[in-house]
Chain A
Amino acid sequence: MTGAAQDHRAGLPAARGDGPPPERWSGSGRALLRLLAVQGAWSYERMQGVGAGWAAAPLLRPLAQQDAERYRAAVARSAEFFNANPNLAGLAVGAEVRAEFDGLPPEQIRRLRTALCSPLGALGDQVFWAGLVPALVALAVAGVALGGGAWPVAALVAVYALVRLWTARWALRTGLASGMSVGRVVTASWLPRAVPRVGPLAAFALGLAAPLAAAWLLPVVAPGHVAGVLVVAALGVGLGQWLGTRVTAVRFGLGALGIALLLRWVTA
């Protein structure tokens, strides 16, 4: 950062490069809200590209007053192909906007965007989809089964909302502050360190929740019924491990219900 210049209102470094830096990152609040809908126009062609462009638009707006042609080129680039974990998309959006204000060559900005897709996708999926989300949901399931009523559900939504908003804000601000060096900044941040923590937590919480849920859903049933439930569950696990994702939960569930109906019809 040249001269460690800091924006006194947003706490962000002033942009450098050939373009005049904005006094502050105006529009960052709107960009943050728009990041919550980064997958709103998801398509197989550009994936989150349009959503990322929509989120970047308020931040790019000051460029229009400086150089209309440069602004339109930046808008076009901001809506090109992009895909990452939606919670971390702000890192790429912020870094790209910063690179545009820094006046970096278009190809370099495109390469930055492309290079961020895989790591932000993999890291975000491990932290959120395979870590924090199943962990929090499983803990809420356990809380309900232990008699917490609707409170664990309310806590689940409140905690995750805080995490989601905090992460989105952190991601956008980090991206805007880092620009082209966002990859290095992310590597040194809390994100990679979170992976080995949330994964085991998710595994532990899922293990905890399953028997509690079963006990809550089957309070007093005959031993034969419990054995039947366990046979169905074991069959589902066996098929799932053997055939992989070809046996989805929906397919196996409908199959189990169909066989139960057939059994009832035969034995009635």
Chain B
Amino acid sequence: MSAALATMGLAPGVLLLLLGWGTLVGLDLVSWPQLLLARPLVAGTVAGLLLGDVEAGLRVGLLLELFALDVLAVGAVRYPDYGPATVGAVVLAAFAPWETGLGLATALALPVAAVGGWTMQWVRHANARALQRATDALAAGDPRAVRRLQAGGLARDALRALGLTALALVLAIAARTWVQPDPATGRLLTLAAVGAALAAVANGALRIAGRGPRLGWLAAGLGLGLVLAAVLAGVLAGGLA
């Protein structure tokens, strides 16, 4: 595994930065400061910058962002924590041909994101237990009890995000060391991941559009997007030819 780290140029300092970034990203999802740092596109781009492979960060971040756009984070629902998972996925996909690496990175990110959703439940239950212990102090209007509960909640979520990022990084480094699919398999996984991501964003868009006049706006955006995509595909094909 240390050889894999060396070939990736993953110095311990970079690993620590990634761990710190993943923790901040995980904290941003619900607790603080909720500035969209937890969005895969943001988490992935910064992880790519830290690693020195922005392209990988953008590709992985954008692909996972399509999955995340399926989620409406309303109320007390449980939803995947894509941020730390994206950081791990970028480590897995960095400095490798992305056409064959995106699928494997997605295969790593999706389960880690789901685990992230479960760990959020753990934090919420732990917060409730701390609350029960402080019921009398809260009823008496002790401001120190409020402060302690808030600090405890933030600390638990930071710990959760740190653990989730560590899990994602360990899995990514292990996968780089031991999982090396042949190019055809890698490409097939990437195609499957892109298809599933498109389904996710389409379901998210249909949910937001509903059955009213917003469907017309969705169709208008889709029409313009298809025209621009055709131009973009032509440009890209011409560039590669």
Contact = CB atoms under 8 A, between A and B. Distances in A.
Partners in one complex: yes
A223 to B, nearest CB: 12
Nearest to B104: A257
Contact of B54 (A149, A228, A257): A149
A50 B153 contact: yes
A11 interface: no
A157 B36 contact: yes
Nearest to A161: B35
B67 A71 contact: no
Contacts of B237: 219-220
Most B Cβ at <10 Å: residue of A50, A53, A54, A219: A50
A111 B89 CA distance: 47
Contacts of B139: 76
Contact of A40 (B31, B58, B111, B220): B31
B171 interface: no
Contacts of A200: 213-214, 217
Interface size class of A (residues with CB under 8 A): 35 or more
A188 to B, nearest CB: 25
B103 interface: yes
A76 B138 contact: yes
A48 to B, nearest CB: 10
A67 to B, nearest CB: 12
A43 B194 contact: no
B203 A240 contact: yes
Given A130-B72, A210-B201, A263-B188, A254 B107 contact: yes
A264 interface: yes
B71 interface: yes
B131 A45 contact: yes
Contact of B131 (A50, A234, A237): A50
Contacts of A37: 31-33, 150, 154
B198 A214 contact: yes
Contacts of A104: none
Contact of A229 (B49, B128, B191): B191
B110 A41 contact: no
Given A144-B62, A207-B218, A211-B225, A50 B149 contact: yes
A252 B66 contact: no
B42 A153 contact: yes
Contacts of A125: 72, 74-75
Most B Cβ at <10 Å: residue of A37, A153, A260: A153
Interface of B: 30-37, 39, 41-42, 45, 49, 54, 58-59, 61-63, 65-76, 80, 102-103, 106-107, 110-111, 113-114, 124-125, 127-128, 130-132, 138-143, 146-147, 149-150, 152-154, 157, 184-185, 187-189, 191-206, 208-209, 213-215, 217-226, 228-230, 232-233, 236-237, 240
21 contacts: A40-B154, A41-B152, A41-B153, A53-B146, A54-B147, A57-B147, A74-B141, A130-B208, A137-B39, A141-B65, A144-B58, A150-B58, A206-B204, A206-B209, A207-B217, A210-B225, A215-B230, A250-B111, A253-B110, A257-B189, A261-B185
Given A54-B147, A153-B61, A210-B205, 13 more contacts: A41-B153, A42-B127, A50-B127, A76-B139, A121-B74, A125-B75, A211-B226, A228-B191, A236-B196, A240-B206, A249-B68, A253-B196, A261-B189
